[in-house]
Amino acid sequence: MAEFKRVILVVGTPGVGKTVVSKLLASKMDAMYINLAELVKREKLIVGVDKARDTLIADTQRVSKRVTEILESSGERCVVIDGHYAMDVVSARDVYLAFVLRRNPDELKKTLESRGFGGKKLWENLAAEVLDVCLWEAITSCGSEKVCEIDISDKKVEDIVKEMLSILSGEERCRIGIVDWLGKLEAENRLHEFLKNF
């Protein structure tokens, strides 16, 4: 089995800006771009529908197989993969770097509400951001040496991508542990607002 050394994952809680950032990053790198949500919908790689959350349930085995086929056809080209469950469908050995996008929970709440998120779906996603779920999953899947955390709060897409390119070129250091939403909200005595359903 071939190894793909230039696969870059862009992961994070829904609403952090993965797609817009990934598309610009892929464009700047002249890389192939894969949006997992679009791939799953387009090729019907699903096992069902989660009615409570109004989302499709991806068949991760079939998605993984399909992503491997796409990577095999990419040749030497870099590939940027956008999706919060990218770590579940790409082998860690193939990942060059995984960027975990982070967003201030207040900012994220506004974004999710503007997209129509409400109830359990809203609070589950906000809790995931506050509790570092995507960061923890990326580190567990890929190892801390392959994970870079990027705080995108109040930043323009161009500046976020510039930071990512600087890390990829070695000009800037890849770091984790750069945000502490839990500590911030606790210090503001607001943690209960975001974890009230738990």
Which pLDDT tens digit goes with each residue over 176-187? 999 999 999 999
Mean pLDDT over 35-42 rounds to 89
The answer regarding whether domain 7-109+133-179 maps to CATH 3.40.50.300 reads yes
Is there a contact between 123 and 197 (Cβ–Cβ < 8 Å)? yes
Which pLDDT tens digit goes with each residue over 105-140? 999 999 999 999 988 889 999 999 999 999 999 999
Q: Is the pTM of this model over 0.75?
A: yes
Can you say whether residue 116 is alpha, beta or left, with left for phi > 0 and alpha for psi between -120 and 50 degrees? left
Which pLDDT tens digit goes with each residue over 3-30? 455 899 999 999 999 999 999 999 999 9
Task: Note the pLDDT of residue 23.
Answer: 97
Is there a contact between 55 and 49 (Cβ–Cβ < 8 Å)? yes
pLDDT exceeds cutoff 50 at 78: yes
Q: How confident is the model at residue 1 (pLDDT cuts 50, 70, 90)?
A: very low
Spatial separation of the C-alpha atoms in residues 173 and 175, rounded to whole Å? 6
- List the domain boundaries for the chain: 7-109+133-179
